[in-house]
Amino acid sequence: MMQSLLHNHSLLWIAPVLDASGFADEARNFVLGIDDAGIPIHLKRIPWDVPDTELDPETLKRLQELMHRGLSPDFICVNQFFPTQVPLAEAAAVNVCRTIFETDRIPAEWVGACNEYDFLWVPSEFHVDAFARSGVDASKLRVLPEAIDAELYRQSAHPLWPGDDFGFTFLSTFVWQPRKAWDILLEAYSREFASDENVSLILKVFPDRRQSPADIEAEAWGFIQNRLGLSREEAPALRFLHDSIPVNDMPRLYHSADCFVLPTRGEGWGRPLMEAMA
């Protein structure tokens, strides 16, 4: 049914598309791929509390053009965000929510909102089970794997820094929040290595809830001091990257490391893991 609808209706795709979140990165890949497939699509941006990322001029131009395209009267609306945050499009022929959650249950307030949609697109069978177990109508659930430009990360790229600057380099990139298990990562790294070993842990982190870079670093070093009794001088080398990295330069970040690490407590998909493996 959905395949036939896509060939006869235009799409209204509502999502954060310009920021540095995984939601936005996925949305960019979806809408540009749909446009490449020749399916009429109009993009509506959702502002979010995540800083905008730096996109190459061609990609930004394409996204902006999609924001100004028209819609057929009987369009299909896809909300790629949290089901409680965007109202249903009453004029749409079909309302779809593309969403995700990181555990084996979804928030109770999501259930009713999900059931108002005609379809729910989730990334995996794990999510089908989690949403259905929580009370979402299983007949509405469909698996649509995440969209990622693997070729971008497979290309040859120069590292962001000379290879011998930091010794053997571990890299992790994530939002600074407990779910990402930064405490487990820092403890494991600090217990395994000493300050005189030629090794570094590079943390490319994003703030959560308006933290400043100074707040994040103070929390990290405070944890190492309180948990392990190590001063900065006694701990193995730890370096933070707070600056925004353009999307097209992300392969350079991964090529700068010898090993990617992410001991997360829960992921909806784990885009950095996919990027590192690509």
pLDDT digits (tens, 9 = 90+) for 43-54: 999 988 777 888
Q: Are 141 and 111 in contact (CB under 8 A)?
A: no
Which overall architecture, per CATH, does domain 2-147 show?
3-Layer(aba) Sandwich (3.40)
Taking the model in full, what pTM does it have? 0.87
User: In the CATH scheme, what is the homologous superfamily, with its name and number, of domain 152-277?
Assistant: Glycogen Phosphorylase B; (3.40.50.2000)
Give the end-to-end CA distance of the chain in Å, rounded to a whole number.
33
Burial 49-84 (b: 16+ CB within 10 A, else e): ebeebebeeeeeebbeebeeeebeeebbbbbbbbbe
**pLDDT for 196-220, tens place per residue?**
999 999 999 988 878 899 999 999 9
Domain boundaries, the chain: 2-147, 152-277
**pLDDT for 116-132, tens place per residue?**
999 999 999 999 999 99
Percent of the chain clearing pLDDT 70 (strictly above): 96
For residue 14, give the 3-state DSSP assignment. strand
**pLDDT for 61-102, tens place per residue?**
999 999 999 888 889 999 999 999 999 999 999 999 999 999
